[in-house]
Structure 1
Amino acid sequence: MSKIKVAVFGCGAIAQRRHIPEYANNANVELVAFADPVKERAEEMAAQYGGKAYTDYQELLKNEKLDAVSVCTPNYLHAPMSIAAANAGLHVLVEKPMATTTEEGEQMIEAARKNGVYLMVGHNQRLMPPHVKAKEILDSGKLGKVLTFRTSFGHGGPESWSLDGRDSWFFRKEEAIMGAMGDLGVHKSDFIRYLLNDEIAEVAGFIGTVHKEGTDVDDNATCIVRMKSGAVGTLMASWTHYRSGDNGTVLWCEKGVMKIGAVHGDEVNVELTDGTIETYKVGAMATNEKQVPSGVIDAFVESILTNTPPSISGEEGLRSLNVILGAFESQETGKIVKL
Protein backbone atom coordinates (compact mmCIF):
# COMPACT_ATOMS: atom_id res chain seq x y z
CA MET A 1 0.00 0.00 0.00
CA SER A 2 1.25 3.49 -0.72
CA LYS A 3 2.62 5.55 2.13
CA ILE A 4 0.75 8.39 3.77
CA LYS A 5 2.31 11.65 2.64
CA VAL A 6 2.71 14.04 5.57
CA ALA A 7 3.80 17.65 6.01
CA VAL A 8 4.62 19.35 9.31
CA PHE A 9 3.74 22.99 9.99
CA GLY A 10 6.09 24.44 12.59
CA CYS A 11 9.52 22.93 13.25
CA GLY A 12 9.99 23.85 16.90
CA ALA A 13 10.56 21.61 19.92
CA ILE A 14 7.37 19.53 19.81
CA ALA A 15 7.83 18.86 16.09
CA GLN A 16 11.53 18.01 16.41
CA ARG A 17 11.17 15.85 19.51
CA ARG A 18 7.85 14.12 18.94
CA HIS A 19 6.00 14.53 15.65
CA ILE A 20 8.81 14.34 13.10
CA PRO A 21 10.83 11.45 14.62
CA GLU A 22 7.63 9.50 15.30
CA TYR A 23 6.47 9.93 11.69
CA ALA A 24 9.96 8.93 10.52
CA ASN A 25 9.74 5.77 12.64
CA ASN A 26 6.36 4.82 11.17
CA ALA A 27 6.82 2.54 8.14
CA ASN A 28 3.53 3.75 6.64
CA VAL A 29 4.55 7.41 6.45
CA GLU A 30 6.56 9.50 4.02
CA LEU A 31 7.56 12.95 5.30
CA VAL A 32 7.38 15.20 2.23
CA ALA A 33 7.55 18.80 3.47
CA PHE A 34 8.22 21.11 6.40
CA ALA A 35 7.14 24.71 6.94
CA ASP A 36 8.57 27.19 9.42
CA PRO A 37 9.02 30.98 9.26
CA VAL A 38 12.59 30.36 10.41
CA LYS A 39 13.90 28.98 7.13
CA GLU A 40 16.90 27.21 8.69
CA ARG A 41 14.63 25.10 10.90
CA ALA A 42 12.56 23.81 8.00
CA GLU A 43 15.73 23.22 5.96
CA GLU A 44 17.38 21.34 8.80
CA MET A 45 14.37 18.98 9.06
CA ALA A 46 14.25 18.48 5.29
CA ALA A 47 17.97 17.71 5.22
CA GLN A 48 17.61 15.21 8.04
CA TYR A 49 14.39 13.48 7.02
CA GLY A 50 14.06 14.17 3.30
CA GLY A 51 11.39 16.36 1.70
CA LYS A 52 11.13 20.04 0.97
CA ALA A 53 11.46 23.14 3.17
CA TYR A 54 9.06 26.10 3.05
CA THR A 55 8.70 29.31 5.02
CA ASP A 56 5.03 29.66 4.06
CA TYR A 57 2.54 26.89 4.82
CA GLN A 58 0.08 28.15 2.18
CA GLU A 59 2.72 27.79 -0.50
CA LEU A 60 3.47 24.29 0.81
CA LEU A 61 -0.23 23.35 0.55
CA LYS A 62 -0.36 24.68 -3.02
CA ASN A 63 2.72 22.81 -4.23
CA GLU A 64 2.77 19.45 -2.45
CA LYS A 65 0.67 16.34 -2.88
CA LEU A 66 -0.28 15.33 0.67
CA ASP A 67 -2.58 13.14 2.73
CA ALA A 68 -2.12 14.70 6.17
CA VAL A 69 -0.47 17.46 8.18
CA SER A 70 0.69 18.02 11.74
CA VAL A 71 0.13 21.54 13.08
CA CYS A 72 2.91 22.26 15.62
CA THR A 73 2.80 26.05 15.69
CA PRO A 74 2.01 28.77 18.24
CA ASN A 75 -1.55 28.51 19.57
CA TYR A 76 -3.00 31.42 17.60
CA LEU A 77 -2.17 29.65 14.31
CA HIS A 78 -3.75 26.30 15.15
CA ALA A 79 -7.20 27.16 13.79
CA PRO A 80 -6.29 28.97 10.54
CA MET A 81 -3.72 26.33 9.59
CA SER A 82 -5.96 23.38 10.48
CA ILE A 83 -8.86 24.86 8.52
CA ALA A 84 -6.63 25.56 5.49
CA ALA A 85 -5.35 21.97 5.55
CA ALA A 86 -8.85 20.49 5.94
CA ASN A 87 -10.08 22.67 3.06
CA ALA A 88 -7.22 21.22 1.00
CA GLY A 89 -8.70 17.78 1.73
CA LEU A 90 -6.06 16.71 4.27
CA HIS A 91 -6.33 14.92 7.59
CA VAL A 92 -5.13 17.13 10.45
CA LEU A 93 -3.31 16.38 13.69
CA VAL A 94 -3.18 19.58 15.74
CA GLU A 95 -1.22 20.23 18.91
CA LYS A 96 -3.06 21.27 22.05
CA PRO A 97 -4.81 23.51 22.89
CA MET A 98 -6.58 22.82 19.58
CA ALA A 99 -7.69 26.46 19.36
CA THR A 100 -7.84 29.63 21.43
CA THR A 101 -11.64 30.11 21.42
CA THR A 102 -14.72 27.90 21.25
CA GLU A 103 -15.68 29.48 17.89
CA GLU A 104 -12.30 28.56 16.38
CA GLY A 105 -12.64 24.99 17.62
CA GLU A 106 -16.12 24.71 16.10
CA GLN A 107 -14.88 26.09 12.77
CA MET A 108 -12.09 23.49 12.71
CA ILE A 109 -14.52 20.65 13.41
CA GLU A 110 -16.86 21.95 10.71
CA ALA A 111 -14.04 22.27 8.15
CA ALA A 112 -12.98 18.65 8.77
CA ARG A 113 -16.59 17.41 8.57
CA LYS A 114 -17.34 19.35 5.39
CA ASN A 115 -14.21 18.01 3.67
CA GLY A 116 -14.58 14.45 4.89
CA VAL A 117 -11.23 14.40 6.71
CA TYR A 118 -10.16 13.55 10.26
CA LEU A 119 -9.24 16.12 12.87
CA MET A 120 -7.26 14.77 15.82
CA VAL A 121 -5.87 16.67 18.81
CA GLY A 122 -2.48 15.75 20.35
CA HIS A 123 -3.75 14.93 23.84
CA ASN A 124 -1.06 12.34 24.57
CA GLN A 125 -1.96 11.99 28.27
CA ARG A 126 -4.68 9.51 27.29
CA LEU A 127 -2.13 7.26 25.61
CA MET A 128 0.54 7.12 28.33
CA PRO A 129 0.78 3.52 29.61
CA PRO A 130 0.16 4.37 33.31
CA HIS A 131 -2.94 6.34 32.31
CA VAL A 132 -4.27 3.55 30.10
CA LYS A 133 -3.76 1.10 32.99
CA ALA A 134 -5.44 3.46 35.48
CA LYS A 135 -8.51 3.70 33.27
CA GLU A 136 -8.67 -0.07 32.95
CA ILE A 137 -8.57 -0.45 36.76
CA LEU A 138 -11.17 2.27 37.28
CA ASP A 139 -13.46 0.81 34.61
CA SER A 140 -13.24 -2.61 36.30
CA GLY A 141 -15.25 -1.15 39.19
CA LYS A 142 -12.99 -2.51 41.95
CA LEU A 143 -12.57 0.99 43.42
CA GLY A 144 -16.24 1.90 43.11
CA LYS A 145 -17.26 5.46 42.44
CA VAL A 146 -14.73 8.31 42.30
CA LEU A 147 -15.60 10.80 45.05
CA THR A 148 -12.79 13.36 45.03
CA PHE A 149 -9.55 13.79 43.11
CA ARG A 150 -6.62 15.99 42.28
CA THR A 151 -4.76 16.13 38.99
CA SER A 152 -1.71 18.25 38.35
CA PHE A 153 0.77 19.04 35.60
CA GLY A 154 3.74 21.22 36.36
CA HIS A 155 7.32 21.81 35.27
CA GLY A 156 9.80 24.67 35.31
CA GLY A 157 8.37 26.35 32.22
CA PRO A 158 8.90 26.46 28.46
CA GLU A 159 12.27 28.21 28.71
CA SER A 160 13.95 24.84 29.25
CA TRP A 161 11.83 23.10 26.61
CA SER A 162 11.28 25.50 23.73
CA LEU A 163 14.02 25.93 21.12
CA ASP A 164 13.86 29.68 21.71
CA GLY A 165 14.20 29.44 25.47
CA ARG A 166 13.05 32.58 27.27
CA ASP A 167 12.37 34.24 23.87
CA SER A 168 9.81 31.58 23.03
CA TRP A 169 6.35 32.41 21.65
CA PHE A 170 5.00 30.65 24.77
CA PHE A 171 5.61 33.89 26.67
CA ARG A 172 4.06 36.22 24.06
CA LYS A 173 0.39 36.68 24.80
CA GLU A 174 -0.63 37.59 21.24
CA GLU A 175 0.76 34.27 19.97
CA ALA A 176 0.15 32.00 22.95
CA ILE A 177 -3.15 33.58 24.12
CA MET A 178 -2.81 31.44 27.26
CA GLY A 179 0.19 30.16 29.22
CA ALA A 180 0.44 27.19 31.58
CA MET A 181 -3.29 26.54 31.19
CA GLY A 182 -3.07 26.14 27.41
CA ASP A 183 0.20 24.23 27.67
CA LEU A 184 -0.49 21.89 30.60
CA GLY A 185 -3.94 22.55 32.07
CA VAL A 186 -5.78 21.48 28.94
CA HIS A 187 -3.93 18.13 29.06
CA LYS A 188 -5.35 17.54 32.52
CA SER A 189 -8.90 18.62 31.69
CA ASP A 190 -8.73 16.16 28.80
CA PHE A 191 -7.22 13.41 30.94
CA ILE A 192 -9.71 13.66 33.81
CA ARG A 193 -12.66 13.64 31.37
CA TYR A 194 -11.24 10.53 29.71
CA LEU A 195 -10.27 8.76 32.93
CA LEU A 196 -13.58 9.33 34.71
CA ASN A 197 -15.62 8.96 31.53
CA ASP A 198 -17.46 12.05 32.74
CA GLU A 199 -17.79 15.71 31.85
CA ILE A 200 -16.80 18.73 33.94
CA ALA A 201 -20.00 20.56 34.81
CA GLU A 202 -18.63 23.52 36.79
CA VAL A 203 -15.25 25.18 37.19
CA ALA A 204 -13.77 27.84 39.45
CA GLY A 205 -10.36 29.13 38.40
CA PHE A 206 -7.57 30.96 40.20
CA ILE A 207 -5.19 31.85 37.39
CA GLY A 208 -2.32 34.30 37.27
CA THR A 209 1.32 35.12 36.65
CA VAL A 210 3.07 34.32 39.90
CA HIS A 211 6.75 34.29 39.06
CA LYS A 212 7.69 34.64 35.38
CA GLU A 213 9.01 38.16 34.80
CA GLY A 214 8.14 40.22 31.75
CA THR A 215 5.22 38.15 30.48
CA ASP A 216 1.49 38.54 30.88
CA VAL A 217 0.60 34.91 30.16
CA ASP A 218 -0.44 32.78 33.12
CA ASP A 219 2.27 30.68 34.77
CA ASN A 220 0.02 29.07 37.40
CA ALA A 221 -3.55 27.91 37.75
CA THR A 222 -5.46 26.07 40.43
CA CYS A 223 -9.02 25.14 39.55
CA ILE A 224 -11.81 23.48 41.45
CA VAL A 225 -14.03 21.34 39.25
CA ARG A 226 -17.28 19.50 39.78
CA MET A 227 -18.02 16.58 37.49
CA LYS A 228 -21.52 15.73 36.21
CA SER A 229 -21.38 12.64 38.47
CA GLY A 230 -20.92 14.91 41.50
CA ALA A 231 -17.25 14.09 42.08
CA VAL A 232 -15.26 17.18 43.07
CA GLY A 233 -11.57 17.75 42.45
CA THR A 234 -8.73 20.14 41.78
CA LEU A 235 -6.89 20.65 38.53
CA MET A 236 -3.56 22.39 38.64
CA ALA A 237 -1.19 23.69 35.95
CA SER A 238 2.17 25.27 36.72
CA TRP A 239 5.25 26.60 34.99
CA THR A 240 6.99 27.20 38.33
CA HIS A 241 7.47 23.62 39.53
CA TYR A 242 11.22 24.17 39.62
CA ARG A 243 13.58 21.28 40.27
CA SER A 244 10.81 18.70 40.42
CA GLY A 245 7.89 18.50 38.02
CA ASP A 246 4.53 16.86 38.60
CA ASN A 247 2.28 14.83 36.34
CA GLY A 248 0.36 13.08 39.07
CA THR A 249 -3.30 12.26 39.66
CA VAL A 250 -4.87 10.89 42.84
CA LEU A 251 -8.44 9.57 43.00
CA TRP A 252 -10.20 8.89 46.28
CA CYS A 253 -12.94 6.37 45.65
CA GLU A 254 -15.56 4.44 47.62
CA LYS A 255 -13.31 1.41 48.03
CA GLY A 256 -9.87 2.94 48.18
CA VAL A 257 -7.43 5.32 46.57
CA MET A 258 -5.60 5.27 43.24
CA LYS A 259 -2.37 7.20 42.79
CA ILE A 260 -1.16 7.66 39.22
CA GLY A 261 2.40 8.85 38.69
CA ALA A 262 2.24 10.52 42.08
CA VAL A 263 4.93 8.49 43.83
CA HIS A 264 7.77 7.77 41.37
CA GLY A 265 6.22 9.29 38.29
CA ASP A 266 5.56 6.15 36.28
CA GLU A 267 3.48 3.76 38.34
CA VAL A 268 -0.13 3.20 39.31
CA ASN A 269 -0.71 2.44 43.01
CA VAL A 270 -4.03 1.07 44.22
CA GLU A 271 -4.72 0.94 47.95
CA LEU A 272 -8.04 -0.72 48.76
CA THR A 273 -9.98 -0.23 51.99
CA ASP A 274 -9.64 -3.98 52.68
CA GLY A 275 -5.88 -3.48 53.08
CA THR A 276 -4.83 -4.77 49.65
CA ILE A 277 -2.09 -2.78 47.96
CA GLU A 278 -1.29 -3.20 44.27
CA THR A 279 1.46 -1.50 42.26
CA TYR A 280 1.56 -1.53 38.47
CA LYS A 281 4.65 -0.47 36.55
CA VAL A 282 3.53 -0.51 32.95
CA GLY A 283 5.88 1.89 31.19
CA ALA A 284 7.00 5.47 31.58
CA MET A 285 5.14 8.73 31.18
CA ALA A 286 6.47 11.00 28.46
CA THR A 287 8.21 14.00 30.01
CA ASN A 288 10.37 16.79 28.61
CA GLU A 289 13.45 14.93 29.84
CA LYS A 290 12.34 11.44 28.83
CA GLN A 291 11.04 11.47 25.27
CA VAL A 292 9.28 8.13 25.17
CA PRO A 293 7.07 7.74 22.09
CA SER A 294 3.81 9.59 22.64
CA GLY A 295 1.61 7.17 20.73
CA VAL A 296 -0.21 10.15 19.18
CA ILE A 297 1.41 9.90 15.75
CA ASP A 298 0.87 6.14 15.48
CA ALA A 299 -2.78 6.54 16.51
CA PHE A 300 -3.27 9.29 13.89
CA VAL A 301 -1.66 7.20 11.14
CA GLU A 302 -3.71 4.15 12.19
CA SER A 303 -6.93 6.22 11.93
CA ILE A 304 -6.07 7.21 8.37
CA LEU A 305 -4.97 3.70 7.34
CA THR A 306 -8.02 1.93 8.76
CA ASN A 307 -10.44 4.72 7.93
CA THR A 308 -11.50 4.90 11.59
CA PRO A 309 -12.29 8.27 13.20
CA PRO A 310 -9.70 9.13 15.87
CA SER A 311 -10.83 8.68 19.47
CA ILE A 312 -9.11 11.98 20.41
CA SER A 313 -11.31 13.87 17.98
CA GLY A 314 -11.82 17.58 17.43
CA GLU A 315 -15.03 17.31 19.47
CA GLU A 316 -13.09 15.80 22.39
CA GLY A 317 -10.39 18.45 22.08
CA LEU A 318 -13.03 21.18 22.16
CA ARG A 319 -14.70 19.84 25.32
CA SER A 320 -11.30 19.84 27.04
CA LEU A 321 -10.54 23.36 25.76
CA ASN A 322 -13.91 24.67 26.97
CA VAL A 323 -13.01 23.67 30.55
CA ILE A 324 -9.90 25.85 30.37
CA LEU A 325 -11.79 28.75 28.78
CA GLY A 326 -14.38 28.40 31.56
CA ALA A 327 -11.63 28.62 34.16
CA PHE A 328 -10.35 31.87 32.60
CA GLU A 329 -13.89 33.25 32.63
CA SER A 330 -14.16 32.31 36.31
CA GLN A 331 -10.88 34.10 37.08
CA GLU A 332 -12.15 37.20 35.26
CA THR A 333 -15.64 37.31 36.78
CA GLY A 334 -14.90 35.87 40.22
CA LYS A 335 -17.79 33.45 39.68
CA ILE A 336 -18.15 29.70 39.29
CA VAL A 337 -18.71 28.94 35.62
CA LYS A 338 -21.20 26.31 34.50
CA LEU A 339 -20.11 24.45 31.37
Structure 2
Amino acid sequence: AVRFRNPQHWLFDSAKSGGGMLSWLGCHYLDIMRFVTGDEIVSVSAEIATRSGEDIDVEDVATLIVRFASGAVGSLHVGYTLALSGSGYHNKSGYDTYAGFNGGSGRMYWRAPGAPTSLFVETVHDDWRDAPTREFTYTLGETPAYGGAAGEEFMRDFIRAAQGSGQPPAAGVDALQVARIVEGAYTSSREGRRVEIQLP
Protein backbone atom coordinates (compact mmCIF):
# COMPACT_ATOMS: atom_id res chain seq x y z
CA ALA A 1 0.00 0.00 0.00
CA VAL A 2 1.18 3.52 -0.80
CA ARG A 3 0.62 4.70 2.78
CA PHE A 4 3.44 2.44 4.01
CA ARG A 5 5.87 3.82 1.41
CA ASN A 6 5.83 7.52 2.36
CA PRO A 7 3.41 9.25 -0.04
CA GLN A 8 5.55 12.44 0.27
CA HIS A 9 8.56 10.66 -1.29
CA TRP A 10 9.72 12.11 -4.62
CA LEU A 11 8.76 8.85 -6.38
CA PHE A 12 5.10 9.78 -5.86
CA ASP A 13 5.55 13.25 -7.42
CA SER A 14 5.12 13.15 -11.21
CA ALA A 15 7.13 16.36 -11.75
CA LYS A 16 10.16 14.62 -10.23
CA SER A 17 9.63 10.94 -11.08
CA GLY A 18 7.89 11.15 -14.46
CA GLY A 19 5.51 8.33 -13.59
CA GLY A 20 4.47 5.85 -10.95
CA MET A 21 4.30 2.11 -10.45
CA LEU A 22 4.53 1.26 -14.15
CA SER A 23 7.62 3.35 -14.87
CA TRP A 24 9.62 2.45 -11.78
CA LEU A 25 8.72 -1.24 -11.20
CA GLY A 26 6.45 -2.48 -13.99
CA CYS A 27 9.16 -1.59 -16.50
CA HIS A 28 11.26 -4.52 -15.27
CA TYR A 29 8.53 -6.99 -16.14
CA LEU A 30 8.19 -5.51 -19.62
CA ASP A 31 11.93 -6.08 -19.99
CA ILE A 32 11.51 -9.67 -18.77
CA MET A 33 8.74 -10.24 -21.33
CA ARG A 34 11.02 -9.10 -24.15
CA PHE A 35 14.00 -11.09 -22.85
CA VAL A 36 12.19 -14.39 -22.23
CA THR A 37 10.22 -14.37 -25.48
CA GLY A 38 13.00 -12.93 -27.64
CA ASP A 39 10.19 -10.97 -29.27
CA GLU A 40 9.37 -7.28 -29.56
CA ILE A 41 6.21 -5.67 -28.22
CA VAL A 42 4.54 -3.88 -31.14
CA SER A 43 1.43 -2.42 -29.47
CA VAL A 44 -0.02 -1.71 -26.03
CA SER A 45 -3.46 -1.03 -24.59
CA ALA A 46 -3.56 0.16 -20.99
CA GLU A 47 -5.69 1.29 -18.09
CA ILE A 48 -3.75 3.30 -15.51
CA ALA A 49 -5.14 4.79 -12.32
CA THR A 50 -4.44 6.21 -8.88
CA ARG A 51 -6.67 4.34 -6.44
CA SER A 52 -4.87 4.43 -3.08
CA GLY A 53 -6.68 7.49 -1.77
CA GLU A 54 -3.33 9.07 -0.93
CA ASP A 55 -2.38 12.57 -2.09
CA ILE A 56 -0.14 11.45 -4.97
CA ASP A 57 -0.22 12.34 -8.66
CA VAL A 58 1.28 9.19 -10.19
CA GLU A 59 -0.36 5.86 -10.90
CA ASP A 60 -0.38 3.22 -8.21
CA VAL A 61 -2.04 0.59 -10.42
CA ALA A 62 -1.69 -0.27 -14.12
CA THR A 63 -2.95 -3.03 -16.39
CA LEU A 64 -1.51 -3.54 -19.88
CA ILE A 65 -2.35 -5.80 -22.81
CA VAL A 66 0.58 -6.09 -25.21
CA ARG A 67 0.90 -7.65 -28.64
CA PHE A 68 4.22 -9.06 -29.83
CA ALA A 69 5.60 -9.03 -33.38
CA SER A 70 4.94 -12.80 -33.56
CA GLY A 71 1.25 -12.23 -32.83
CA ALA A 72 1.48 -13.46 -29.24
CA VAL A 73 -0.51 -11.52 -26.65
CA GLY A 74 0.58 -10.80 -23.08
CA SER A 75 -0.70 -8.97 -20.04
CA LEU A 76 0.87 -7.12 -17.14
CA HIS A 77 -0.77 -5.94 -13.94
CA VAL A 78 1.22 -3.93 -11.40
CA GLY A 79 0.16 -1.97 -8.37
CA TYR A 80 0.50 -1.13 -4.75
CA THR A 81 -2.58 -3.21 -4.00
CA LEU A 82 -1.68 -5.26 -0.91
CA ALA A 83 -3.44 -3.61 2.03
CA LEU A 84 -0.84 -4.77 4.58
CA SER A 85 2.33 -4.52 2.51
CA GLY A 86 5.36 -3.22 4.32
CA SER A 87 7.80 -0.56 3.24
CA GLY A 88 11.06 -0.81 1.37
CA TYR A 89 12.59 -3.47 -0.82
CA HIS A 90 12.93 -6.10 1.88
CA ASN A 91 9.20 -6.31 2.58
CA LYS A 92 8.57 -8.69 5.49
CA SER A 93 4.86 -8.82 4.59
CA GLY A 94 5.76 -10.45 1.29
CA TYR A 95 4.95 -9.65 -2.29
CA ASP A 96 2.22 -10.80 -4.64
CA THR A 97 4.61 -11.33 -7.54
CA TYR A 98 4.18 -13.80 -10.38
CA ALA A 99 5.64 -13.99 -13.87
CA GLY A 100 4.37 -16.65 -16.24
CA PHE A 101 4.74 -17.52 -19.90
CA ASN A 102 2.23 -19.89 -21.51
CA GLY A 103 2.55 -21.39 -24.97
CA GLY A 104 1.21 -24.20 -27.10
CA SER A 105 3.90 -26.63 -25.91
CA GLY A 106 4.16 -25.65 -22.27
CA ARG A 107 4.62 -22.95 -19.71
CA MET A 108 7.07 -21.58 -17.21
CA TYR A 109 6.43 -19.45 -14.18
CA TRP A 110 8.17 -17.83 -11.23
CA ARG A 111 6.70 -16.56 -8.00
CA ALA A 112 7.95 -13.87 -5.63
CA PRO A 113 11.41 -14.28 -4.19
CA GLY A 114 11.77 -16.54 -1.24
CA ALA A 115 14.39 -18.94 -0.06
CA PRO A 116 15.03 -20.86 -2.20
CA THR A 117 13.74 -19.32 -5.42
CA SER A 118 12.19 -21.62 -8.01
CA LEU A 119 11.36 -21.56 -11.69
CA PHE A 120 8.64 -24.04 -12.67
CA VAL A 121 8.56 -25.46 -16.19
CA GLU A 122 5.98 -27.75 -17.84
CA THR A 123 6.04 -29.03 -21.42
CA VAL A 124 4.55 -31.63 -23.74
CA HIS A 125 7.83 -31.79 -25.71
CA ASP A 126 8.92 -35.38 -26.42
CA ASP A 127 12.32 -34.84 -24.78
CA TRP A 128 10.54 -34.25 -21.45
CA ARG A 129 8.03 -37.11 -21.76
CA ASP A 130 9.26 -38.89 -18.61
CA ALA A 131 9.29 -35.72 -16.51
CA PRO A 132 7.04 -33.11 -18.12
CA THR A 133 6.97 -30.91 -15.01
CA ARG A 134 10.20 -29.66 -13.48
CA GLU A 135 11.25 -27.25 -10.78
CA PHE A 136 14.58 -25.46 -11.00
CA THR A 137 15.60 -24.16 -7.59
CA TYR A 138 18.37 -21.73 -6.85
CA THR A 139 19.56 -19.71 -3.89
CA LEU A 140 20.77 -16.15 -4.27
CA GLY A 141 23.43 -14.88 -1.92
CA GLU A 142 22.25 -12.53 0.80
CA THR A 143 23.57 -8.99 0.57
CA PRO A 144 22.15 -5.61 1.58
CA ALA A 145 22.67 -4.31 -1.97
CA TYR A 146 19.75 -3.24 -4.12
CA GLY A 147 18.73 -6.36 -6.02
CA GLY A 148 20.76 -8.57 -3.69
CA ALA A 149 23.59 -10.69 -5.09
CA ALA A 150 22.09 -10.56 -8.59
CA GLY A 151 22.03 -6.76 -8.39
CA GLU A 152 25.69 -6.69 -7.36
CA GLU A 153 26.66 -8.95 -10.26
CA PHE A 154 24.64 -6.79 -12.66
CA MET A 155 26.57 -3.71 -11.52
CA ARG A 156 29.92 -5.51 -11.80
CA ASP A 157 29.08 -6.53 -15.39
CA PHE A 158 27.95 -2.99 -16.20
CA ILE A 159 31.16 -1.47 -14.82
CA ARG A 160 33.32 -4.01 -16.70
CA ALA A 161 31.48 -3.19 -19.93
CA ALA A 162 31.86 0.56 -19.31
CA GLN A 163 35.60 -0.04 -18.92
CA GLY A 164 35.68 -1.83 -22.29
CA SER A 165 35.74 -5.41 -21.04
CA GLY A 166 32.70 -7.33 -22.27
CA GLN A 167 29.11 -6.53 -23.14
CA PRO A 168 26.71 -4.77 -20.76
CA PRO A 169 24.05 -6.99 -19.15
CA ALA A 170 21.41 -4.83 -20.85
CA ALA A 171 21.94 -2.55 -23.82
CA GLY A 172 20.70 1.00 -24.25
CA VAL A 173 18.24 -0.21 -26.88
CA ASP A 174 16.58 -2.39 -24.22
CA ALA A 175 16.00 0.59 -21.95
CA LEU A 176 14.76 2.65 -24.90
CA GLN A 177 12.25 -0.02 -25.94
CA VAL A 178 10.87 -0.38 -22.43
CA ALA A 179 10.57 3.42 -22.17
CA ARG A 180 8.65 3.45 -25.47
CA ILE A 181 6.26 0.79 -24.16
CA VAL A 182 5.72 2.63 -20.86
CA GLU A 183 5.08 5.94 -22.65
CA GLY A 184 2.79 4.12 -25.07
CA ALA A 185 0.84 2.72 -22.11
CA TYR A 186 0.42 6.20 -20.64
CA THR A 187 -0.83 7.48 -24.00
CA SER A 188 -3.17 4.50 -24.39
CA SER A 189 -4.76 5.04 -21.00
CA ARG A 190 -5.06 8.80 -21.46
CA GLU A 191 -6.54 8.59 -24.98
CA GLY A 192 -8.48 5.33 -24.68
CA ARG A 193 -6.85 3.60 -27.65
CA ARG A 194 -4.27 1.00 -28.60
CA VAL A 195 -0.83 2.51 -29.27
CA GLU A 196 1.69 1.14 -31.76
CA ILE A 197 5.28 0.88 -30.48
CA GLN A 198 8.23 1.92 -32.64
CA LEU A 199 10.62 -0.99 -33.13
CA PRO A 200 14.38 -0.68 -32.59
TM-score, normalised via structure 1 length:
0.48
- Percent same amino acid at aligned positions? 25
AA at the equivalent of 1:317? A
From the two aligned structures, give the one with the greater helix fraction.
Answer: 1
Q: Determine if contact 1:250/1:262 at 8 Å carries over to the other structure.
A: no
Cα–Cα, structure 1 residues 334 and 285, in superposed 2: closer, same or farther, change >3 Å? farther
Aligned to 1:214: 55
Cα distance in 2 for partners of 1:180, 1:277 equals 33
8 A Cα contact 2:10 2:17, kept in partner:
yes
**1:291 to partner: Cα distance:** 5.3
How far has the Cα of 1:207 moved from its partner? Answer: 0.3
- 1:90-239 aligned within 5 A: 156-157=1-2, 159-160=4-5, 165-239=6-80
Secondary structure at the aligned position of 1:166 is classed as coil
- The alpha-carbon distance between structure 1 residues 158 and 200, as it changes in their structure 2 partners (threshold 3 A), is farther
- How do 1:1-339 and structure 2 match up within 5 A? 156-157=1-2, 159-160=4-5, 165-242=6-83, 243=85, 244-261=94-111, 266-273=117-124, 274=129, 276-284=132-140, 292-293=148-149, 294=151, 295-339=153-197
Maintained 8 Å contact 2:3/2:54: no
> Number of aligned pairs?
180
Q: Does the Cα contact within 8 Å between 1:184 and 1:238 map onto a contact in 2?
A: no
Structure 1 residue identity aligned to 2:181: V
Shift of 1:332: 1.0
1:140-171 Cα deviation digits (max 9, x unpaired): xxxxxxxxxxxxxxxx44954xxxx3321011
Which structure is larger by alpha-carbon Rg, 1 or 2? 1
Counterpart CA distance in 1 for 2:48 and 2:29 is 15
| In 2, Cα distance between equivalents of 1:298 and 1:203 | 33
Offset at residue 248 of structure 1 (A): 1.8
**Aligned Cα RMSD in Å?**
2.8
Q: Secondary structure at the match of 1:203?
A: strand
Give the whole-Å Cα distance in 1 for the aligned partners of 2:146 and 2:162: 28
- Partner of 1:72 in structure 2? none
Q: Name 2:88's counterpart in structure 1.
A: none
Q: SS of the residue aligned with 2:24?
A: helix
- Maintained 8 Å contact 2:50/2:58: yes
Distance 1:187 1:326 in 2: 16
Instruction: Report the TM-score, using the length of structure 2 for normalisation.
Output: 0.79
Report the Cα offset of residue 195 of structure 1: 1.2
Deviations 1:204-250, CA, capped at 9 Å, x for gaps: 00101011411111000000011111111101221223434233211
Cα–Cα, structure 1 residues 315 and 240, in superposed 2: closer, same or farther, change >3 Å? same
Match of 1:208, as an amino acid? A
